[in-house]
Amino acid sequence: MRTEPEEDAEKRCGKAERGVEGTERMSGMRGQYTRPAEIEARSMELIGKELRGRGFHPDPSTEDIVKRVIHATADFDFAETLFFTEGAAEAMRSALLSGASIVTDTNMAFSGISRKRLGEYGGKLYCFMGDPDVAAEAARRSVTRATVSMERAAALPGPLLFAVGNAPTALERLCGLVREGRILPAGIIAVPVGFVNVVEAKEEAMQLKGIPLICARGRKGGSTVAAAICNALLYGIRRT
């Protein structure tokens, strides 16, 4: 049984919906955008509009990466802080198209990266952080699991793209392995997050020569950012 106050409230809500111009209808589960593809498309449209309103006009080769990171974080600071070495996005997509695998430093990023799309090009996805022997070796050497994980990855066959979204020690060790000549990545996504050694690790990665790099300058980053960049690269292959 419906009461008069409920009906009055419903009428007021209806009037509010009709009176707000330029926004989606606030009608609970009966919203205008209900399908995942529609929601994502509308989100990207709104992100693009706000970027233009801020006077930001990204390079066409990196625009989808910037927008997908903002979509994953709702943080427009990434429009300013994401750094790309020249041709990095194209080089990484070319490597993925040729079957490069991806190594990440967190199980969260591992879960968020599209293994289905990666597998279509012959690539595999790796994360060694949860391996018991990695934990045991890290404890024995008094180093982080992320450090040992990068060393394990250096022994993998084939071209590798590294997506570091959490641990600065992973990025530091990866840079060390590059300098030691033990690995030459097909690309590095340097987006660890935090307050200790994060900025320094990213700056170290930006000093590497001859390696395609996508880096989130400053403290911000994270596993969601790493996964978003990987997916943007994968989803963009068919458009290149």
Cα 122 from chain centre: 21
Q: Give the number of other CB atoms < 10 A from CB of residue 217.
A: 17
Instruction: Report the candidate in 106, 92, 96 with the shortest Cα–Cα distance to residue 167.
Output: 106
Report how far apart, in Å, the C-alpha atoms of 63 and of each of 59, 211, 235 are: 6, 21, 13
Instruction: Report the candidate in 214, 170, 161, 178 with the shortest Cα–Cα distance to residue 194.
Output: 170
Half-sphere exposure (Cβ direction) of 51: Cα atoms closer than 13 Å: 25
CA distance 61 to 236: 9
Burial environment of residue 208 by CB neighbours within 10 A (0 to 12, 13 to 18, 19 or more):
middle
Instruction: Report the candidate in 31, 30, 26, 2 with the shortest Cα–Cα distance to residue 12.
Output: 26
Residues labelled as active-site residues? 71
